[in-house]
Amino acid sequence: MARDVNGSGIPLEPCYDEIDGKPHDLGEPGAFPFARGIRADMYRGRLWTMRQYAGFATAAESNERYRYLLDRGTTGLSVAFDLPTQLGYDSDAPESRGEVGKVGVGIDCVEDVETLFDGIPLDRVTVSMTINAPASIVLAMLLAVARRRGIPFDKLGGTIQNDILKEYVARGTYIFPPGPSMRLVTDALSYCAREVPQWNSISISGYHIREAGSTALEEIAFTLSNAKSYLRAALAAGIDLDAVAPRISFFWNAHNDLFEEVAKFRAARYLWAEITRDEFGCKDPRSQMLRFHTQTGGSTLAAQEPENNVVRVALQALAAVLGGTQSLHTNGKDEALSIPTAENAKLALRTQQIIGYESGVADVVDPLAGSYYVETLTNELIERARALVAEVDGMGGSVAAIESGWMQARIADSAYDAQQAIERGETVVVGVNAFVEPGEAGAAIPLHRNDERVEREQIARLVAFRAKRDAAAVADRLRDVRAAAAGTENLMPHFLEAVDAGATLGEICAVLREAFGVYRAHDVVA
């Protein structure tokens, strides 16, 4: 796939390793500290996974979108869930009213997951699921579907986000207090290491921290601080880190400053290698490799002149690729306004394909290595992020920094500063605060619309599902979940048996609310 000579006939080296005859300061690709990439051949071996994020309305409608994207060259799926699912409520719960199927697909039971992946070979297509507080339960539903299809768990590849700390920091879709939430995370880590070895049981997210307003520096530091908290929790649970760390992945944002973003990815890899080896004693090189998915920056998209978003997304995607991402989602031009239409999702996918197959960036490993600017930015970000991580450590780690409100306040200050710079015109946003066309505050483009029938139909399916299941078997399995939650057993096997018997997401989460309690954020007054 990769070329050995360019269009002018100039031979291309697979990797350029020296600057003025001197070896590269940050090492070689595929070797510690992995700043230049986790594989020696990077995209010369194979391109990143083109994983478009999609999910809306019903499982059947989302399945139709997945098939559409797979037919057009998507190489991995990424599932968006609606708010009731993210918060652990069934679609007929009073709390769910008006939100079913709106910002993602509604999932109540194992039959919904069967429909969601109908006709999709789960042993050949990797699936990423953006779910956190009830991540273990949704994973159990997918495992139940695989078991029903006769697919061995060791053939499944994919990711659950399962990063609860950033929910307290940036998103707000938490359910339980931090202690039990961390138990759910470590239970999934331990279970997947034994039973689903190709599955990424956590994807530690800087994306949402950046969307909340952090700088690139804070995105690195706070995400790695959260990652350290998960490693500490795994150690406290008696888990061998080299058994789980190779399947820890990360999820980063890509914004408009191309060179800073490239340097951010390189710096994060360097620091993770340093943290895992030197602080936590991980011996396996796979534990030291920061593997990551990237999504282009949703908060950078503008409702005004949405066609401009195509250019923004292309620049951000290029930064992710030049930074060495393993997986990439490109936003649709209409995502500042709605869920993308099928046509806009296809255009976003084509953006990745053009970068991968037409731009030449995949021909050479780490093509910006040796750039004075990029190397300087990388080194500066390494040093400054290391200092900020140490500051969080000095507070007692991420959980303490979050519970005190310090981390949230720091991000809020950065968000305020960034917005003020836009309003003062110091930061230019084309078509928004500069180069604005008279009378074009917004463009009329076709948008995806949710039909009110979605909620009615989803509730009707749920009611029918409950009516035909073995209620006694469900009650037994929920008792097992309750007993395990009160003790120290790994909850994953109990979730699997409960969902396979017919327990719903909301019913299991209700049991866990009784056992664990519910987290209420407190206001922090500066």
The rounded radius of gyration (Å) of the Cα atoms in the chain is 23
Calculate mean pLDDT across residues 201-225.
98
pLDDT(322) > 50: yes
What is the pLDDT at residue 522? 67
What is the pLDDT at residue 361? 96
Cα 408 versus chain centre, distance: 20
What is the pLDDT at residue 441? 53
Distances (CA, A) of 240 to 183, 187, 273, 393, 491: 16, 13, 17, 22, 19
Q: How does pLDDT run across 354-406, given as a tens digit for each residue? A: 999 999 999 999 999 989 999 999 999 999 999 999 999 999 999 999 999 99
Cα separation, 311 vs 321, in Å, equals 15
Amino acid at 266: R
- SS3 state at 8: coil
Calculate mean pLDDT across residues 449-457.
87
Mean pLDDT of the chain: 95
Contact 30, 43 (CB under 8 A): no
443 phi and psi, to 5 degrees?
-105, 140
432 phi and psi, to 5 degrees?
-115, -60
pLDDT(303) > 60: yes
What is the pLDDT at residue 198? 96
- SS3 state at 7: coil
pLDDT(442) > 60: no
- Angle subtended at Cα 81 by Cα 85 and Cα 353, rounded to the nearest 5 degrees: 170
Cα 389 versus chain centre, distance: 21
Q: Is 107 left (phi over 0), alpha (psi -120 to 50) or beta?
A: beta
Q: Which of 173, 209, 171 lies closest to 415 in space, CA to CA?
A: 209
Sorted by where each starts, the structural domains of the chain and their CATH numbers stand as: 40-423 (3.20.20.240)
Which residue stretches of 237-369 are H helix? 241-244, 258-274, 285-288, 308-322, 342-358
Residue 440's pLDDT band, with cuts at 50, 70 and 90, is low
What is the pLDDT at residue 363? 96
Amino acid at 514: E
Beta bridge pairs of residue 205: 251
Q: How does pLDDT run across 52-85, given as a tens digit for each residue? A: 999 999 999 999 999 999 999 999 999 999 999 9
Q: Which of 219, 221, 185, 218 lies closest to 203 in space, CA to CA?
A: 185
Q: How does pLDDT run across 466-495, given as a tens digit for each residue? A: 999 999 999 999 999 999 999 999 999 999
Residue 350's pLDDT band, with cuts at 50, 70 and 90, is very high
What is the pLDDT at residue 19? 66
What is the pLDDT at residue 25? 72
What is the pLDDT at residue 317? 98
What is the pLDDT at residue 526? 45
Start-to-end Cα distance in the chain? 56
What is the pLDDT at residue 525? 44
pTM score: 0.94
pLDDT(109) > 80: yes
Calculate mean pLDDT across residues 243-252.
97
Calculate mean pLDDT across residues 91-114.
97
Q: How does pLDDT run across 390-399, given as a tens digit for each residue? A: 999 999 999 9
The size of the chain, in residues, is: 526
Q: How does pLDDT run across 256-283, given as a tens digit for each residue? A: 999 999 999 999 999 999 999 999 999 9
